[in-house]
Amino acid sequence: DLFGVRERVGFYNSFAARSSEDRFEHATFGGVRVSREPGTGEVHALLGTRFASVQFHAESLLTHNGVHIIGELLGAVLRGADVPASHSAPGSPQLLIAAQ
């Protein structure tokens, strides 16, 4: 389940983030939605008002609708997403890069 839509996506990494919540508040980015596996809490993606992040490989052939998924996530960021934020970070959408 990727934010309410069933998608077949490709994972081939050895690291996994886990969350017990479907959303949380971040001091800088406000409300953040968490797409996760309900049984394990393994995080598939994050979506906030100014960013989107995926743990799977959207560009891979293992992800059936990768181009569509990337387009939907970018569209959500450009629209400001549907996450109520306590406050928004100033400026334009940001690219977040996390080292693993």
1-89 topology per CATH: Rossmann fold (3.40.50)
User: 33-75: per-residue pLDDT in tens?
Assistant: 999 998 999 999 999 988 899 988 888 888 888 898 888 888 8
- 43 contact partners, CB below 8 Å, separation of at least 6: 16, 17, 18, 19, 34, 35, 36, 55
pLDDT at position 86 over 80: no
pLDDT of 94: 42
Q: Is the pLDDT of residue 97 over 60?
A: no
CA atoms within 13 A on the CB side of 95: 1
What proportion of the chain, given as a percentage, has pLDDT over 70?
A: 80
pLDDT of residue 81: 56
Pick the more confident residue, 25 or 11: 25
